[in-house]
């Protein structure tokens, strides 16, 4: 196929699709044959755009006999799932940026691709422009990766960074992020942690070589993080980030989750700000590495999509079994740890009556729940004769911490539990 142009079909011409179109125009060996869009009449911000390529029927792309590679860039399950299966059935290799589809239907779709001897590449689905899938599959293939800590959502990282830098409230920064286009009109997928959960599900499956089920991934968003928590974290030597983490313990159990976390100012993730993403991997023999860069956007994400296209294009016609290293070849499901059985340190913010015995009461409740305290700080007494108290615990069971929270809510000394945020365990 050296002298033959590789024929591409695009499904979706939004932000990422436009970046892919513009980038592929620079390659003489690539030809875009058909592009499926929702609205054929929408004005495109693309110079010298060939309108004849457009269709509003995506099945014209996935069944087109000319097309070698189908690029799915619309996201979601329906109709993307059926379109990809139809494309595979019709002899197409697939490049996708669809993190939700991979997290929820990955096992089915990869098995289907293998049955039909087709390749699915998905570098853009995890961390935008940051190369992470290819490195894990190739240059890091000799490593046993045991831990991932990552910032995988630019919207939430932007919001938390602005709250930290400006002392602004969550609601104010969210509104600003929406006006700037960093957050959707309905930001639920980002701020409630769904987007990061989809990404860490696929990333952990890849790194641990065992399938992770999305329904077993603990997820908590950033909507309850307060400006006061940001200030308290800074005073204690931390930053608050939405961290997607995955860890494989010595017994082979996986702990995969997304939630806000106090990360040490000495850690790399503490300095990943605004819309930047980062993935930190721990394994043997590599030790510890971090890859960071733009996690979203037109050209960063297009960079990963186009890279995948070119990888497949380079192999077409040279072998009957393309890219064996990049294929999904693990069938075993990981045993998962429930969040209640995990060990964590915690940051706890309480509002208490300014009475004698309050600190003692907090200490007693923690002791009764098998929790040791690393620090407890009471700052100013407020005008209503209450005090805000900040507690950092030693590592303890999540189940015990939740029991303590219930006991605080029932205590006559405690007015409210303002915040409970897990703290990064630095080993």
Give CA 278 to chain center in angstroms.
10
The dihedral over CA atoms of 283, 285, 289, 294, expressed in degrees to the nearest 10, equals -80
If you search the block for the tokens 């792309």, which residue do you land on? 61
Measured in whole angstroms, the distance separating CA 347 from the mean position of its chain's CA atoms is 23
Contact 197, 214 (CB under 8 A): yes
Q: What are phi and psi of 185, to 5 degrees?
A: -55, -45
199 is annotated as an active-site residue: yes
- CB 270: neighbour CB atoms within 10 A? 18
3-state secondary structure of 50: coil
Name the 3-class secondary structure at 237: coil
Residues with Cβ within 8 Å of 273's Cβ and at least 6 positions away in sequence, in order, are 157, 161
d(CA 301, CA 295): 7
Q: Which of 199, 210, 239, 247 is an active site residue?
A: 199
Whole-angstrom Cα distance, residue 365 to residue 133?
46
Report d(CA 422, CA 405) in Å as an integer.
Answer: 13
Long-range contacts from 46-53, C-beta under 8 angstroms, 24+ separation: 46/18, 46/21, 46/22, 49/21
d(CA 122, CA 77): 15
Closest to 237 (Cα-Cα) out of 259, 261, 266: 266
Measured CA angle at 382 (ends 379, 388), to 5 deg: 45
Beta-strand ranges (E) seen in 198-275 are 218-219, 238-248, 253-264
Catalytic positions are 199
């Amino acid at each position: 196929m050296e002298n033959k142009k590789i024929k591409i079909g695009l499904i979706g011409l939004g932000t990422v699709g436009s970046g892919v179109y513009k980038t592929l125009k620079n390659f003489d060996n690539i030809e875009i044959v058909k592009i499926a869009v929702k609205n054929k009449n929408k004005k495109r911000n693309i110079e010298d755009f060939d309108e004849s390529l457009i269709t509003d029927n995506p099945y014209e792309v996935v069944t087109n006999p000319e097309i070698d590679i189908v690029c799915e860039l619309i996201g979601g399950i329906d109709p993307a799932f059926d379109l990809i299966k139809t494309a595979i059935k019709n002899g197409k290799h697939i490049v996708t940026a669809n993190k939700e589809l991979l997290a929820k239907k990955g096992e089915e779709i990869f098995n289907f691709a293998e049955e039909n001897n087709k390749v699915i590449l998905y570098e853009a689905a995890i961390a935008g422009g940051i190369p992470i899938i290819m490195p894990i599959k190739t240059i890091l293939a000799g490593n046993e990766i045991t831990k991932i800590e990552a910032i995988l959502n630019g919207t939430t990282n932007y919001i938390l960074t602005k709250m930290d830098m400006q002392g602004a409230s969550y609601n104010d920064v969210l509104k600003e992020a929406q006006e700037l286009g960093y957050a959707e009109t309905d930001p639920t997928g980002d701020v409630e942690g769904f987007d990061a959960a989809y990404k860490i599900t696929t990333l952990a499956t890849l790194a641990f070589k065992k399938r992770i089920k999305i329904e077993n991934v603990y997820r908590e968003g950033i909507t309850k993080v307060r400006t006061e928590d940001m200030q308290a974290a800074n005073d204690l030597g931390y930053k608050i980030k939405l961290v997607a983490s995955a860890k494989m313990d010595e017994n082979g159990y996986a702990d995969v989750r997304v939630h806000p976390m106090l990360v040490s100012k000495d850690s790399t993730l503490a300095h990943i700000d605004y819309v930047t993403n980062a993935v930190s991997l721990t394994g043997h023999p590599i030790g510890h590495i971090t890859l960071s860069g733009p996690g979203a956007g037109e050209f960063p994400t297009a960079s990963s999509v186009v890279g995948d296209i070119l990888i497949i294009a380079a192999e077409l016609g040279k072998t009957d079994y393309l890219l064996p290293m990049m294929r999904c070849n693990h069938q075993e499901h990981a045993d998962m740890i429930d969040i209640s059985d995990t060990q964590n340190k915690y940051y706890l913010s309480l509002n208490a009556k300014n009475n004698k015995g309050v600190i003692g009461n907090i200490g007693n409740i923690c002791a009764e729940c098998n929790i040791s305290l690393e620090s407890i700080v009471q700052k100013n007494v407020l005008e209503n004769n209450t005090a805000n108290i900040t507690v950092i615990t030693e590592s303890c069971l999540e189940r015990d911490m939740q029991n303590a929270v219930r006991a605080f809510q029932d205590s006559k000394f405690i007015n409210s539990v303002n915040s409970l945020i897990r703290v990064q365990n630095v080993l």
